[in-house]
Amino acid sequence: MDNMIYRIAAPEALAVAARTGAYGGEAFDKADGFIHASTRAQLAGTLAAHYADADRLAVAVIDLEAVSDLVRWETSRGGEDFPHIYGDLPWSAVRAVHLLKKEDDGWRLPEELTA
């Protein structure tokens, strides 16, 4: 298993987290009580299922070991187990951020984020 998990978010929200030291999630995360995340293999499906109306996004690459005490693997879309982060994501656990712009034919992930 990949030792990273991935959070798709508004670039502005991740920029604030980089300055403040923590990411608390967005409105839908707060409503659900956890920060939604994905595995590398789940990224494309998550983009298609939940971000069709967005034009620009960012993907934070999160060191799973650094947040292991905050993560629960729970069954969600399609019966798959997804990583859910309970609590604020410490920015120190973020190893990289990739900016995404939707192409005419949909989201295109950079090569390093494809399964």
Averaged pLDDT in 10-residue chunks for the chain of 115 residues? 89 96 94 96 91 92 97 91 97 96 83 77
Indicate whether 42 belongs to any domain. Answer: yes
Closest to 26 measured CA to CA, from 102, 83, 89: 89
Judge whether 82 lies within some domain.
Answer: yes
pTM of the model: 0.92
In the structure encoding, which two tokens stand for residue 94, read together?
Answer: 């973020």
- In eight-state DSSP terms, residue 105 is T
Is 110 a domain residue? no
**Do the domain assignments include residue 111?**
no
In a domain, 64, yes or no: yes
**Residue 6 · residue 59 · CB < 8 Å:** yes
Distance CA 79, CA 96 (A): 28
The parent domain of residue 83 ranges over: 4-102
We report the CATH number of the domain holding residue 47 as 3.20.170.20
